[in-house]
Amino acid sequence: KGISAIEMAADAITHMELGRIDECTTANIGIIRGGEARNVVCESCYLEGECRSIYEERVLAQRDAMTRALEIAAERFGGTVELDWRLDYPGILYTEDMPLIESLRRAAAAAGLDFKLASSGGGADANVLGQKGALAITLGTGMANYHSLDEYISVKDLNDMARYAEAIIDEYANNFPA
C-alpha cells in the first residue's frame, strides 16, 4: 500500500525523548530491523529499546510517552503498531541509613577506601534480585567510559575492589553470626 514501516518508525523515534531523561531515568532505541530489498517499500519494521528509572512513576511516564510516539506515527502514516513492554530492570533505591549501606560503608573504611552512595540508573543483576526480595546492590568498580570502545579499569581500581570484597566478607563474618 506504499506505507513505509521504516519511515513510520523513524518518525516515531524522532518524536521520542531518548538518552538521559533526568538524573534517574534513561531511554533508548537500540535495535531497528526492517526491509527485504532496496526497491521495495518496507511493510514491517522491528524496534527494540528500553526505558529505566529508579522511580516507577517516571519509568511508566517514559514508557507511555514512547508508546504515544509510536501510536501517533502509525496513525500519521496509516499503519499499525504492536507493542510488547516487559519489566527487565525494576528500580531499586537504598538510603544512607539502611543496615546494608552502613555495613558496606564500614567495609570500605576497613579497606581504606572512600565510600559514596550513588544512583546509576543502570540495569544490573541487583535490580532483578531486589525484585525477588534480596538485598542486592551494584558496587562501582572504578570502570571508566563503560559501554564504549574506550572502556577500561585501572589495575589500582581492580586491586582496590579485591581489598573491598575481602573487607565486605570480613564485615559480614564478624557482624552477622550464623
pLDDT at residue 142, as a whole number: 84
Q: Which residue type occupies 2?
A: G
pLDDT at residue 132, as a whole number: 84
Contacts 24+ apart (CB under 8 A), 110-117: 110/167, 110/170, 110/171, 111/160, 111/163, 111/164, 111/166, 111/167, 112/163, 113/160, 113/163, 113/164, 116/140
Identify the three-state secondary structure at position 131. helix
Supply the DSSP string of 6-70, one letter for each residue: HHHHHHHHHTS--EEEETTEEEEEEEEEE-S-TTS----EEEEEEEEESSHHHHHHHHHHHHHHH
Give pTM, 2 decimals. 0.74
pLDDT at residue 177, as a whole number: 60
Q: What is the mean pLDDT of the chain?
A: 90
| Mean of pLDDT values over 80-93 | 86
Cell of 37: 530489498
Q: What is the pLDDT of residues 96-148, one digit of tens each?
A: 888 889 999 999 999 999 998 887 766 778 888 888 888 888 888 888 887 78
- Cβ pair 119, 93 in contact under 8 A: yes
| Mean of pLDDT values over 145-167 | 92
Q: What is the pLDDT of residues 67-78, one digit of tens each?
A: 999 999 999 999
Judged against a pLDDT cut of 60, whether residue 178 lies above it is answered with no
Between CA 101 and CA 105 the distance in angstroms is: 6
Contact residues for 95 (Cβ-Cβ < 8 A; gap 6+): 101
Report which of 159, 161, 100 is spatially closest to residue 126, judged by C-alpha positions. 100
Q: Which residue has the higher pLDDT, 123 or 177?
A: 123
pLDDT at residue 72, as a whole number: 97
Q: What is the pLDDT of residues 10-66, one digit of tens each?
A: 999 999 999 999 988 999 999 999 999 989 998 999 999 999 988 889 999 999 999
pLDDT at residue 45, as a whole number: 95
Cell of 57: 512513576
Judged against a pLDDT cut of 90, whether residue 82 lies above it is answered with yes
Report which of 11, 7, 85, 16 is spatially closest to residue 45, judged by C-alpha positions. 7
pLDDT at residue 174, as a whole number: 85
pLDDT at residue 169, as a whole number: 94
Between CA 47 and CA 44 the distance in angstroms is: 10
